[in-house]
Amino acid sequence: MATEVTEQPVQQDSGVRYAARLDQVSKSFGRPGTQQHVLDGITLDVAPGEFVCLLGASGCGKSTLLNLVAGLDRPSSGSIQTPGGRPALMFQEHALFPWLTAGRNIELALRLRGVPRAERRERAEGLLELVRLKGAHGKRVHELSGGMRQRVAMARALAQDSQLLLMDEPFAALDAITRDVLHEELTRIWAETGVSVLFVTHNVREAVRLGQRVILLSSRPGRIAREWTVDIPQPRRIEDAAVADLSVEITEQLRGEIRRHGQH
């Protein structure tokens, strides 16, 4: 089966109606005969401006799938299309350069995009204001809290001006209160910018709080086991009754997948 990854710009009359399209995507690692089959037949569209959460047990291939969409690796078979160009990727760790200030980290992303030097500082300050870090341009990474570092990382990802933002468990290492605040901030930024988001998590309530759709992956090989449309108005709270009720339903499905595949 042919493998294809495309990132061509969207033409206004092209009729494209997705930020990402995955068609029968599979991924294996290792040599023939001893291969580890990680993903199998993933077919998924992410609509423009949609917030989709990928959920599953550890080792189900969520991060592998995100890396394929990001273009960091290629599928063994199937096709991936991101018509708006290369997606921006935000990791669990902030991955900021410690020798640069918060603003300079963002300006580096702008520089790589070809933004003229004269415009970079103003744009970086605008992005810091968007993530509610106004005035933090000159702060070093060691001067920032964990939550602030993730805000800078989010601003740097947004500086890439991509139509698709990929997020790989970006709040997993944060304490509960900071994570709750950043959930609110991410929801606000998503609504303000209209960016499409593909968000990987193993936290069911996080997925229900944030996503318009929740996609549950089975354990290896990762397949789409089920999906839910989350018809709960934003802004949501993680303790909302509707969020809790849907989380219970999804958790039961997740437990069933774990039992089916013998994981503990």
pLDDT digits (tens, 9 = 90+) for 206-230: 999 999 999 999 987 899 999 999 9
Confidence of residue 264 (pLDDT cuts 50, 70, 90): very low
Q: Is 145 exposed, middle or buried (0-12, 13-18, 19+ CB in 10 A)?
A: exposed
Token duo for residue 113:
């995009």
**CA of 113: how far to CAs of 159, 192, 193, 214, 261, in Å?**
9, 22, 18, 32, 44
Residue 114 CA to residue 131 CA, distance in Å, equals: 23
Most confident of 10-24, 60-74, 247-261: 60-74
Q: What is the pTM of this model?
A: 0.88
Residue 9 has pLDDT above 70, yes or no: no
